[in-house]
């Protein structure tokens, strides 16, 4: 059944549900009022006239394509909902029209927005079932206050998806509903962020290096103006773009429209995004960027040389200490090296830093001594370098390990204790030192001719774990 509504006919659908197979408006005003529900099993064409959904929480269900011609009027209001619930591919052709709430519940084929047919949502875009595919020449725009719910693997918006924020305050994280979060250094107004995802198009939806041998994920975000501050980028497994290892994911940015591959700049250190598929980058204060994407250490986008060419990095025991040495072949804007240590290979802390050479093409050698490594109370100590550029960008070296030799026969009794314990099994005359939980020496003694030493903690000592060091060996002492 196809309804052709003649010019100047006013059709008002009240709260009771109405149904139609096809519905074409050729000049009338179709109004849904007071929470009306209209089911259109196939196509709904508003070729001229007015489709008015603005009066109350009205519901419009369309099983086929929804078309609003350029000369027609679509009034969405603030509470109405349009649901596309077909079982075959549907078209959403609004010609710039606006909806309050849009639900995609397509069970087979998804919903397509054709070329030159932008659409806007002011409330909620809900994805219940099916993909939404936007023609690269169109944009689906989420206006200020709009939300996006339900994106997941196999169900997301493919193509240009824009999000608009009327106000983006300085120093606060503002989350856009298309996987982009910005914490700007200066306040911004009416900022638009367009995400192009899933198009499999180099320099449009994914970045490459100049020779196109490396590529990033299949998502590029573009801001309507250059921004500074911190950005957070998130993507779905559908947009991995053939990359498989995200243990060293990095954020990248550029200033110009993506037409070449040589000017992507890395704005983050390597981060493990294996489970989250989210990375964070910091834009240097002396520049601004408008395009953002994600790549990995194995697939860098930029063609510029690395800031530091590290030719060697070693960690070796020297008695009770560890000597760290490293050399560089060249350096670009290198501010410093921070040396980090870990007793378990997971949690690292900084133990010192060495000033870099800035920019140089000459080789340079560096070293740092980590004394008394027995204080870590572990048989294996982990080290790495954190290289920091002058703009704050950081990267990490490979991890090196040092084995702390154990001395057989050493024992503490009692352990745990309340104040005193006896060390046995030491070499006569060996110096024994006790360190508290923060590495401060609290006691020093010498093993007697029998290889024993009585250790009595000073009055007022704290409870907790202490480290007893005998040469290069460390023992844990628990004080209760």
| Residue range 22-81, pLDDT digits in tens | 889 898 999 988 889 999 999 999 999 899 999 889 999 999 999 999 889 999 999 999
The arithmetic mean of pLDDT across residues 384-403, rounded, is 83
pLDDT score for 301: 85
pLDDT score for 374: 73
Determine which of 127-131, 234-238, 329-333 has the lowest per-residue pLDDT on average: 329-333
pLDDT score for 257: 60
Which residues are bridge partners to 270 per DSSP?
none
The arithmetic mean of pLDDT across residues 383-405, rounded, is 82
Q: Report how far apart, in Å, the C-alpha atoms of 360 and of each of 125, 265, 309, 385, 468 are.
A: 53, 20, 11, 19, 45
Which residues are bridge partners to 231 per DSSP?
182, 281
pLDDT score for 396: 77
Do 309-403 and 411-479 show the same overall fold?
Answer: yes
Asked if the model's pLDDT at residue 105 lies above 70, the reply is yes
Q: Name which of 374, 373, 340 is nearest 354 in CA terms.
A: 340
- Which position has the higher pLDDT, 321 or 96? 96
Q: What is the DSSP string of 74-127?
A: EE-TTT-EEEE--SS-EEEE-TT-EESEEEEE-SSS-EEE-TT--EEESSEEEE
pLDDT score for 299: 83
The arithmetic mean of pLDDT across residues 465-475, rounded, is 83
Asked if the model's pLDDT at residue 10 lies above 50, the reply is no
User: CB–CB of 376/341 below 8 Å?
Assistant: yes
Query: Cα(73)–Cα(49) distance, rounded to whole angstroms?
Result: 6
pLDDT score for 288: 77
Cα 278–Cα 332–Cα 271 angle in degrees, nearest 5: 15
Task: Please list, in sequence order, all residues whose beta carbon lies within 8 angstroms of the beta carbon of residue 53, skipping any fewer than 6 positions away.
Answer: 32, 60, 74, 75, 76, 77, 80, 82, 100
Q: What does CATH list as the number for 411-479?
A: 2.60.40.10
Give the single-character DSSP code of 9: -
The arithmetic mean of pLDDT across residues 213-240, rounded, is 95
What ranges make up the beta strands (E) of 138-275?
140-142, 147-149, 157-168, 174-176, 180-184, 188-197, 219-227, 229-234, 249-254, 265-266
Asked if the model's pLDDT at residue 458 lies above 70, the reply is yes
pLDDT score for 6: 35
User: CB–CB of 142/192 below 8 Å?
Assistant: no
pLDDT band at 127 (very low <50, low <70, confident <90, very high): very high
pLDDT score for 405: 65
Asked if the model's pLDDT at residue 2 lies above 50, the reply is no
CATH number among 3.40.720.10, 2.60.40.10, 3.40.50.720, 2.40.160.40, domain 309-403: 2.60.40.10
pLDDT score for 3: 40
Residue range 340-392, pLDDT digits in tens? 999 888 788 999 999 999 877 788 999 999 987 777 777 789 999 988 888 77
Asked if the model's pLDDT at residue 147 lies above 60, the reply is yes
Asked if the model's pLDDT at residue 4 lies above 50, the reply is no
| pTM for the predicted model, two decimal places | 0.64
Strand order across the 101-105 sheet: 18-20, 37-40, 59-62, 81-84, 101-105, 124-129, 147-149
Which residues are bridge partners to 232 per DSSP?
181, 280
pLDDT band at 9 (very low <50, low <70, confident <90, very high): very low
Domain coordinates in residue numbering, the chain:
1-150, 309-403, 411-479
Query: Cα(201)–Cα(207) distance, rounded to whole angstroms?
Result: 9
User: CB–CB of 87/108 below 8 Å?
Assistant: yes
User: CB–CB of 169/145 below 8 Å?
Assistant: no
Query: Cα(25)–Cα(43) distance, rounded to whole angstroms?
Result: 11
**Chain Cα centroid distance, residue 126:** 23
Residue range 282-291, pLDDT digits in tens? 886 667 789 9
Q: Give 458: exposed, middle or buried? Use CB within 10 Å, 0-12, 13-18, 19+.
A: exposed
Strands 157-168 and 132-134: parallel
The arithmetic mean of pLDDT across residues 395-406, rounded, is 78
* Per-chain mean pLDDT for the chain: 87
Asked if the model's pLDDT at residue 435 lies above 50, the reply is yes
Residue range 150-187, pLDDT digits in tens? 999 999 999 999 999 999 999 999 999 999 999 998 99
Query: Cα(311)–Cα(385) distance, rounded to whole angstroms?
Result: 13
Determine which of 96-105, 303-312, 338-347, 416-425 has the lowest per-residue pLDDT on average: 303-312
Task: Please list, in sequence order, all residues whose beta carbon lies within 8 angstroms of the beta carbon of residue 114, skipping any fewer than 6 positions away.
Answer: 91, 93, 135, 138
């Amino acid at each position: 059944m196809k309804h052709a509504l003649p010019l100047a006919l006013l059709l008002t659908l009240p709260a009771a549900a109405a149904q139609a197979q096809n519905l074409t408006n050729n000049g009338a005003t179709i109004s849904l009022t007071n929470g009306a529900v209209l089911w259109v099993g196939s196509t709904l064409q508003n070729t001229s006239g007015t489709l008015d959904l603005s009066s109350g929480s009205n519901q419009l269900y369309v099983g086929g394509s929804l078309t609003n011609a350029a000369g027609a009027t679509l009034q969405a209001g603030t509470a109405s909902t349009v649901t596309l619930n077909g079982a075959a591919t549907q078209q959403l052709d609004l010609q710039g029209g606006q909806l309050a709430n849009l639900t995609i519940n397509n069970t087979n084929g998804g919903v397509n927005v054709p070329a030159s047919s932008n659409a806007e949502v002011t409330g909620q875009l809900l994805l219940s079932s099916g993909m939404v595919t936007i023609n690269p020449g169109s944009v689906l725009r989420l206006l200020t206050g709009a939300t996006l719910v339900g994106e997941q693997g196999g169900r997301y918006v493919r193509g240009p998806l824009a999000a608009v924020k009327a106000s983006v305050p300085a120093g606060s994280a503002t989350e856009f509903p298309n996987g982009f979060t910005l914490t700007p250094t200066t306040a911004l107004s009416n900022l638009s962020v367009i995400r192009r995802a899933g198009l499999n198009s180099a320099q449009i939806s994914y970045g490459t290096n100049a020779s196109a041998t490396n590529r990033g994920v299949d998502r590029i975000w573009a801001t309507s103006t250059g921004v500074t501050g911190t950005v957070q980028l998130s993507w779905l497994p559908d947009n991995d773009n053939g990359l498989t290892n995200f243990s060293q994911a990095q954020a990248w940015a550029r200033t110009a429209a993506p037409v070449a591959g040589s000017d992507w700049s890395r704005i983050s250190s390597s981060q493990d995004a294996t489970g989250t598929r989210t990375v964070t980058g910091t834009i240097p204060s002396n520049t601004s960027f408008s395009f953002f994407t994600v790549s990995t250490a194995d697939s860098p986008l930029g063609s510029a040389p690395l800031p530091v060419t590290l030719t060697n990095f070693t960690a070796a025991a020297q008695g009770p200490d560890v000597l760290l040495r490293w050399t560089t072949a060249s350096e670009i804007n290198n501010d410093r090296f921070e040396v980090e240590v870990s007793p378990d290979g997971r949690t690292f802390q900084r133990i010192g830093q060495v000033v870099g050479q800035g920019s140089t093409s000459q080789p340079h050698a560096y070293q740092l001594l980590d004394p008394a490594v027995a204080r870590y109370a572990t048989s294996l100590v982990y080290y790495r370098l954190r290289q920091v550029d002058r703009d704050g960008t950081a990267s990490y070296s490979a991890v090196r390990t040092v084995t702390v030799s154990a001395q057989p026969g050493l024992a503490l009794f009692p352990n745990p204790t309340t104040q005193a314990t006896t060390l046995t099994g030491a070499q006569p005359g060996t110096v024994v030192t006790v360190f508290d939980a923060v590495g401060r020496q609290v006691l020093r003694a010498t093993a007697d001719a029998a290889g024993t030493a009585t250790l009595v903690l000073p009055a007022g000592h704290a409870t907790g774990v202490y480290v007893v060091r005998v040469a290069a060996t460390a023992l844990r002492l628990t004080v209760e």
